[in-house]
Structure 1
């Protein structure tokens, strides 16, 4: 996240803004973030960001993501799942993408974006169930010690809850148990 570049032009009548860029010139937001991944003003103390592009074993991914979920940081857990989805074998990408969707769904539900949260929770639930059915055939889906059927049930129940109550949830207390 070094270097700054200009976006050029205007956006919505605002003057051109400076954008954070990495060493290769790709846009990378260097703003600090809170525990739910919301950008904070520059100079504000945020939570430590997850490094991008880390290759972990599946077991390491599950342990790290669970620790972040337990800490009420589902946005950051999503980044861990995203690394697994991007670096893992093609045959597992749908699993990790579905788990990332569950974490983002929880993030949105905790931020108060209830419709988006419910939609992503249900999409992620469907994705992990579909992957489990293809990977293991009928029966309870498990991968790397994770109870995929249980996670799908958790996600659908949480989606129903946020729609029924119309209230944001606490990410820490509503975090799933991956195993």
Structure 2
């Protein structure tokens, strides 16, 4: 049983919401307090779609797919309803790469396939293959190929080396 004051010891953000303040590594894994981690992505940032793509690509190239997923998640949560499938699919690809880099081949392959399905659904429903310059067909191919390698026993992968190009 916990005492009433126990919840006060939780890490909180400036709005008072529970938020783990432990530092994290480049793949989003928590590190011990006092350890230097990588800078965290601020949450709830509203960006123009092109800014979202550029920032996420920078993070992917740096081998930080967990942090790129947070950028996509902001777009998914703050963007127009009709674009949620697009941003959710991109977030799933980034999380899939995160799991693959952490050595979780099963989870990585599952999320890569789920993200590829969401992007394929976007293409089919919208007939749009390069929203905001994003190469959806190329990303779907990349995700399915990496998922296949993971399912055949390849892994963990180097996130920065395996990171996809979102556009040209």
Aligned pair count?
164
- Number of the residue aligned with 2:131: 143
1:142-176 per-residue CA deviation (whole Å, 9 max, x = no partner) reads: 21111101101100100111121342000000000
Aligned-partner SS, 1:132: helix
Matched, 1:153 2:144: no
TM-score (structure 2 length as normaliser): 0.93
Q: Is the 8 A contact 2:12 2:18 kept in 1?
A: yes
1:123-158 per-residue CA deviation (whole Å, 9 max, x = no partner) reads: 000001101211126xxx221111101101100100
Matched, 1:107 2:98: yes
For structure 2, list consecutive stretches of 5 or more residues without a partner in the other structure: none
Matched, 1:95 2:89: no
- Number of the residue aligned with 2:161: 173
More strand by share: 1
Aligned-partner SS, 1:43: coil
More helix by share: 2
Aligned-partner SS, 2:10: strand
RMSD: 1.6
- Number of the residue aligned with 2:33: 42
Aligned-partner SS, 2:119: helix
| Offset at residue 23 of structure 1 (A) | 3.1
For structure 1, list consecutive stretches of 5 or more residues without a partner in the other structure: 1-7, 11-15
TM-score (structure 1 length as normaliser): 0.87
